[in-house]
Amino acid sequence: QDENIAAQDSPSLDRLCWPVSSALTARLRRLITAYQRFNRKELIRAEFSVPGNIGYWYSQEEMFRRVADMDPFIKEMQKRWTRREQADFYRTVSSFGVVYDAEAKLFDWSRFRTLSRLEKKTDESLEKYFYSFVAMCRNVCRLPPRKDDGPPDPSIYVEPITEERAARTLYRIELLRKIREQVLRHPQLIERLKLCRPSLYLPVWWECGK
């Protein structure tokens, strides 16, 4: 009888152990990846099955946009920005700026998306993050919001940067927009450039009148 009681108290060798948290996390990631892959195929198949879309191929950006619009899970993921994505956005917007068509009143994110390696972000996602980023910079610099800027998305969190970097970034965004929207479109641009005299702001190879 004592042996039977001891056998019942001892852990069974056949009992399954609960996996550790890292194994559960890896399993969950694989399930999410499999779900996204399967769902994308089904959405793309359904899109191609619509009359009029047979044999029509979309660009990578257009494909991501269409899949994101139809898949609520991917649409929700578009609102989440990793630290690396935020860093890539900051690096690009502070050096390249943004391209805005004043006539159409639309941003052109094609070049920006390539430079920042944010190919999976849609135009809508980039525009919302841009407005939230500008709002963060103005808030850090203790500046009031501008009427021309779009409203920031409260669901998007932008990691704050220092006041010095925020001020420098706002200045460069505005400067590059003026160059693209006003200087480069000026009808007398070539004639004005010929009048430029050598100065510290021009490269050493600049020749007047050429």
* pLDDT computed for residue 54 by the predictor: 46
How open is the CA angle 71-74-78, to the nearest 5 degrees?
135
DSSP 18-37: PPPHHHHHHHHHHHHHHHHH
Token code pair at residue 94: 């502070």
Quick: pLDDT tens for 88-108: 999 999 999 999 998 888 999
Q: How far apart (Å, rounded) are the C-alpha atoms in residues 61 and 65?
A: 6
Quick: pLDDT tens for 53-89: 444 445 555 555 555 555 555 555 556 899 999 999 9
Coil vs helix vs strand at 153: coil
Q: Show Cβ contacts of residue 65 under 8 Å, excluding neighbours closer than 6 positions.
A: 122, 123, 124
pLDDT at 160 over 50: yes
Quick: pLDDT tens for 45-55: 555 555 554 44
Write down the H helix ranges in the chain: 2-9, 21-48, 60-70, 72-78, 83-95, 110-116, 123-140, 163-178, 189-194
Q: Which residues pair with 107 in a beta bridge?
A: 100
Mean pLDDT of 154-158: 88
Q: How far apart (Å, rounded) are the C-alpha atoms in residues 61 and 84?
A: 20
pTM: 0.62
* pLDDT computed for residue 7 by the predictor: 47
* pLDDT computed for residue 170 by the predictor: 96
* pLDDT computed for residue 56 by the predictor: 47
What's the length of the chain? 210
* pLDDT computed for residue 205 by the predictor: 83
